[in-house]
Amino acid sequence: MLKLIVINGGMGTGKSTLSELLSSKLIEQNYYLKTDDLIWGLSSNCKDNFNGQAFIFEMAKSMIKTSLLGGISIIVEKVMNATQVAQIIAIGKQFYVEILHIVLKLSLGEAISRITVRKLENNSKITDEYLERVKKSHENTAEIIAMSHNKLIFSIEKQTSVQICDLVIDQIYSDNLV
């Protein structure tokens, strides 16, 4: 059966790592939609305004529908807010696919620590603006946890991405997810 897997979490929680692991372990053919790639593909004057963000989300929804219509399961990493999560889950319900919403939690301090290490490894600097984006992404995760239903919440401080992937794969292939 086709699957729609939505992965949320603040910056630095391991969304990309988990998405890549799941994509490699799913039995079904799947597509991994990394919304950051859509964002970085736009010019800065577009991605930083509301219309640009709405455009990115409409592109993501179109790609999800196209994937499901083509008979390909999809993993969607980093949906912006709870309203958009609800819209994406509604698409999954329209297509009668198995739906799994995963939320990764990590303390803001630990996320900043992880991101700092990553930035240093890439010889990048961390600006105050970047730290504000990190903080906002963690606030959005709290909103998503509060507003959405039928989700699996994992604490990254207690489990590795590999452990979480194994738990999710067990869940997918042992239960009905809808």
Residue with tokens 């992965």: 7
Among left, alpha and beta (phi > 0; psi -120 to 50; other), residue 3 is beta
User: Taking Cα atoms as reference points, which of 14, 61, 54 lies closest to residue 165?
Assistant: 14
Number of domains the chain is built from: 1
pLDDT one-digit tens code per residue, 26-82? 999 999 998 877 777 765 666 556 567 788 889 899 999 999 999 999 999 987 788
Higher-pLDDT residue of 172 and 76 is: 76
Determine, yes or no, domain membership for 178. Answer: no
Domain carrying residue 114: 3-173
Determine, yes or no, domain membership for 83. Answer: yes
Determine, yes or no, domain membership for 115. Answer: yes
Is residue 176 scored above 70 in pLDDT?
no
pLDDT one-digit tens code per residue, 81-108? 888 889 999 999 999 999 999 999 888 9
Tell me which DSSP letter residue 127 carries. -
Q: Which residues, including other chains, have CB under 8 Å from residue 67's CB and lie 6 or more apart?
A: 31, 33, 73, 74
pLDDT one-digit tens code per residue, 8-25? 988 889 999 999 999 999
Q: Using a pLDDT cut of 70, give the percent of the chain over it.
A: 89
Q: Give 175's pLDDT tier (boundaries 50, 70, 90).
A: low
Determine, yes or no, domain membership for 141. Answer: yes
Which of 92-96, 114-118, 164-168 bottoms out in mean pLDDT, i.e. has the lowest? 114-118
Query: 58, 15 in Cβ contact below 8 A?
Result: no
Determine, yes or no, domain membership for 25. Answer: yes
Residues 115-136 have a mean pLDDT of: 87
For the domain that residue 141 is a member of, what is the CATH number?
Answer: 3.40.50.300
